[in-house]
Amino acid sequence: MAAEPTAQESRSRDLDKLLLRTGNLVGPTFEPGPALRDDLKEYGRVLVVGAGGLGCELLKDLALSGFRKLEVIDMDRIEVSNLNRQFLFRLEDVGKPKAEVAAKRVMERVSGVNIVPHFCRIEDKELEFYSKFSIIALGLDSIEARSYINSVACSFLEYDSDDSALEETIKPMVDGGTEGFQGHARVIVPGVTPCFECTIWLFPPQVKFPLCTLAETPRTAAHCIEYAHLIKWDEVHSGKAFDPDDPEHMKWVYNEATKRAELFGIPGVTYSLTQGVVKNIIPAIASTNAIISAACALETLKILSGCSKTLSNYLTYNGAEGLHTKVTEFVKDKDCLVCGPGVLIQLDTSITLEKFIDLLKDHPKLQLSKASITHRGKSLYMQAPPVLEEMTRSNLSIPLFDLIGKIPKDVVHATGTTTKNDKKTSCLRKLRVVFKGVDGIADMDTAGET
């Protein structure tokens, strides 16, 4: 009689069907066998960005898919309103960092997995942190956060002299998103498929209310909330920035919105609605998160193992009336500022780092303010924190040509802020700098130079 399978063998049964045998849809480098399964455990490092409704599902699915080295980053703390769909959290966890609790709960349930949590903003991590991961999985509800991580992943991308992406520099991403009964899963392979910025037009502009309506004739609960958020806050807290992640700030807006709603006889103002309006949160449904997470986890497995061809390249799901899924193949924008070879900037060898930073502010394509500059992982100038700004300040008066080793052309990275739709957002840009009058740049395509 055959021995009963162990718990570990039972858990990997379906996974083994993908990794231990070949098939008609496998990738060109796929080599089935136990070694592949072991390599995924040993070398497959996955970063999950976001530990909310989708992020909780992603951590669980990836752990159950054989990945053993996971990390998760999230800046939020658990709130009572999270508990209906973020299944890793309990009432006693309210107030604790989402990343830390999510990591702890998954490790309690899935033996052998190690999850390192990071309770911080994604912008707080340097490029070196993101470079160590095999793939990045996104479970975010913010366009700005997606755009930033996309620019980070694309910053590692290098091109050869024919402007073809070098495979060893590609940092793939899997992005998921949900809105009620709708969701999407997409595969982003920088330099090969369209990146997030290539298809930014897929996301509709945020709804904005006329200020005159908010101030004079509010008609909905959302009008009352935005009045408290956009008008009343500045009247009472002159000069103090509103922080949507500060519970005290959000509670103040809720209380003011409630007063305004009572004044105009408008029902429906709740704390959860206040959060949704201020932070542009769309109500989430647990089943949609589970479906989209499963699709993202499967694509992550396919990319790192080659056990099947990957999604090409955008899947949409709609479960509002029945069930509808569709796959669309979008095309890469060859002139994309983020995943392209980089913005070409031609400079004199005498241009100082300070002057170079000023040029980025006025560049028609970049318009990058308060830029921090790095070169091959070395910080040339950092705007923050103060200790790094002081350490790198002396470089501002030195020519950039000298700082990068007096080579005729190279790539530098600039992190700063840009304005989109009247809103300042953090971004990272790759810049191809070429120095005029220096031997060795004849082969550089200088079309579009500044």
Residue 230 and residue 317 in one domain: no
Does residue 338 fall inside a structural domain?
Answer: no
Does residue 14 fall inside a structural domain?
Answer: yes
Of the residues 154, 212, 296, 307, which is catalytic?
A: 212
Tokens 């700082």 identify what position? Answer: 403
Does residue 130 fall inside a structural domain?
Answer: yes
Does residue 252 fall inside a structural domain?
Answer: yes
**pLDDT tens figures, 271-309:** 988 988 887 766 678 899 999 999 999 999 999 988 888
Residue 158 and residue 290 in one domain: yes
Q: Copy the structure tokens of residue 355.
A: 């002057």
Does residue 244 fall inside a structural domain?
Answer: yes
Asked if the bond preceding 313 is cis, omega within 30° of 0, the reply is yes
Q: 187 and 172 in contact (C-beta within 8 Å)? A: yes
User: Is 162 exposed, middle or buried (CB count within 10 Å of its CB: 0-12, 13-18, 19+)?
Assistant: exposed
Cα angle 438-443-444, degrees, rounded to a multiple of 5: 75
Look up the CATH number of the domain holding residue 224. Answer: 1.10.10.520
Residue 152 and residue 37 in one domain: yes
**pLDDT tens figures, 254-268:** 999 999 999 999 999
Residue 263 and residue 388 in one domain: no
Look up the CATH number of the domain holding residue 27. Answer: 3.40.50.720
User: At a CB cut-off of 8 Å and minimum separation 6, what does 235 contact?
Assistant: none
Residue 312 and residue 422 in one domain: no
Q: How far is residue 224 from each of residues 3, 103, 260, 276, measured CA to CA in Å?
A: 66, 38, 6, 13
Strand 45-49 and strand 69-74: pairing?
parallel
Residue 22 and residue 160 in one domain: yes
Q: Which range marks the domain in which residue 228 is found?
A: 211-278
pLDDT in tens, the chain (450 residues): 555 555 566 677 888 888 888 888 887 888 888 888 888 888 999 999 999 999 999 999 999 998 999 999 999 898 887 888 888 999 999 999 999 999 999 999 998 999 999 999 998 898 889 999 999 999 988 888 898 899 899 888 888 777 778 888 899 999 999 988 999 999 999 989 999 988 888 876 666 667 777 778 888 999 999 999 989 998 898 878 888 878 899 999 999 999 999 999 999 999 988 988 887 766 678 899 999 999 999 999 999 988 888 999 899 999 888 888 999 999 888 778 788 887 888 999 999 999 999 999 888 888 888 899 988 878 899 988 888 899 999 999 999 999 999 888 888 888 888 876 666 777 888 888 889 877 654 444 443 344
Which DSSP string corresponds to 30-44?
A: ---SHHHHHHHHHH-
Number of structural domains the chain divides into = 3
Residue 382 and residue 415 in one domain: yes
Asked if the bond preceding 385 is cis, omega within 30° of 0, the reply is yes
Residue 158 and residue 267 in one domain: no
Residue 307 is a catalytic residue? no
